Amino acid sequence: MSKLLSFIGRRLVTFLPNELSTGELTQLLSPRQHSMLLSQRRATMIVNRVRLFAMLFAVLTPIWGIVDIMVFSSPLWIKLAILRLLTSAAFAALLVCYRPTGSMFDAYRAMAILFIIPTLFYIASHSLLAGYQLSSLSSAVATGYAFLPFVLMAGLAIFPLSLLENLLLASVLLVAQGLAGYLNWSTLNWPSFAGGFWLLILIAGVTALASTSQLAFMITLVRQALHDPLTGTFSRGSGKEILNIQWAAALRNQHPLSLAFIDLDHFKKINDNFGHEAGDKALQGFARRLHKKLRGSDSLMRWGGEEFVLIMPNTSLDKAQTAIQRMLDNDFGLRPDGSPLTASIGLAERQQDQLHNPQELLALADKRMYLAKQAGRNQVYAAG
């Protein structure tokens, strides 16, 4: 069974960006495995596209009312016009009031509102049209209302969504289509309704492929932009972004936030004596070993050269010092000559050190790292 799943995984990867690994396939299935920065960028993109969609619908929804005036009786088109104006106002409010915050909760809420508005319009308009006797021309125009779920389903393709998110949103539209059929039960053309429902399911499948493909490209681009290509750790720029996010969260929740500034001891000698390729392998080995010892909430970034920064959220200075000392005791790998690879580490914590911003946290950890070097290297310097 595992061989079959592995084979399917390899086949799926061939349809996705070349840089996407088999291990990243789970990120296409569910958002649970997404990193903080990927979620933040995806949330921003989703909200911006929701606002674009809302602007389009806010403009086009009332314009179609001109056709209603031409083909429907005055009691009907007046009710439809009121319904269109309310719907257009709701879209406009979504456009004006919503701004990207980087929160996936806000992004989900924006998408929910975006699809709830036309879904309610679709159900309400169908209920109105079912209560009137229509001529052949007005009946033909009324069929245009039936295309709204198809437009919405196709609209899912503009969002970078996982397969699970696609299924949930598509299910809402399919339920709305079924509810509209139920409201028109007595006059429903069952063959036509069944064909339309099947077409809606097919469109849902196509949009799922389109939006998960978008997500796959986004995962690849974000990974390349955010990670150091040599060690696989976060780059300096993305690490700073993570630090700012973690600082804001720690400040909001009054939680501790520790930061370790790590400098590998006598690393220049490796490059001088054994070459830069040997130095690169030592850096990769160090990062790989350290990653295995970190919690899921910790973030490791390469600050530059042989310097690394470890962000440890919700961790007091004492706990951070204990954890870092344990890492030191278990060694960071070997130098090319077989001797242990050691590091000098400076440690600082937001609350205990009474710091006011993330820049001060970085600066203090950096200063303590130099104090660790002055004290003989291969140690942690935390305070005092």
Model pLDDT, residue 188? 54
Task: Give how far Cα 220 sits from Cα of 212, 223, 231, Å.
Answer: 12, 5, 16
The answer to whether the beta carbons of residues 382 and 317 sit under 8 Å apart is yes
Model pLDDT, residue 51? 94
Q: What is the pLDDT of residues 333-379, one digit of tens each?
A: 778 888 888 889 999 999 988 888 999 999 999 999 999 998 888 88
Question: Which pTM was predicted?
Answer: 0.71
Residue 10, pLDDT > 60, answer: no
DSSP conformation letters of 314-366: T--HHHHHHHHHHHHHT---B-TTSSBP-EEEEEEETTTTT--SHHHHHHHHH
Angle, helix 74-97 to helix 104-130, in steps of 10 degrees: 180
* Average pLDDT along the chain: 83
Q: Which of 336, 360, 333, 334 is nearest to 349 (CA)?
A: 360
The answer to whether the beta carbons of residues 57 and 118 sit under 8 Å apart is yes
CA–CA separation, 312 and 315 (whole Å): 6
Strand partners, 381: 346
Q: Which of 213, 203, 238 is nearest to 311 (CA)?
A: 238
Model pLDDT, residue 362? 92
What stretch(es) of the chain map to CATH 3.30.70.270?
Answer: 236-381
As to burial, measured by CB atoms within 10 angstroms (0-12 exposed, 13-18 middle, 19+ buried), residue 321 is buried
Which three-class secondary structure state does DSSP give residue 256? coil
Show the tokens assigned to 229: 């290509």
The answer to whether the beta carbons of residues 327 and 293 sit under 8 Å apart is yes
Which CATH class for the 236-381 domain? alpha beta
Examine the residue annotation and report whether 306 is marked as an active-site residue of this protein.
yes
Q: What is the pLDDT of residues 170-225, one digit of tens each?
A: 888 888 777 766 666 555 566 666 777 888 889 988 898 889 888 888 888 887 77
Model pLDDT, residue 292? 83
Q: Which of 353, 347, 358, 290 is nearest to 320 (CA)?
A: 347
CA–CA separation, 282 and 285 (whole Å): 5
- Beta strand spans in the chain (E): 257-264, 299-304, 307-313, 343-349, 379-381
Of 306, 307, 349, 360, the catalytic one is 306
pLDDT tier, 125 (very low <50, low <70, confident <90, very high otherwise): confident
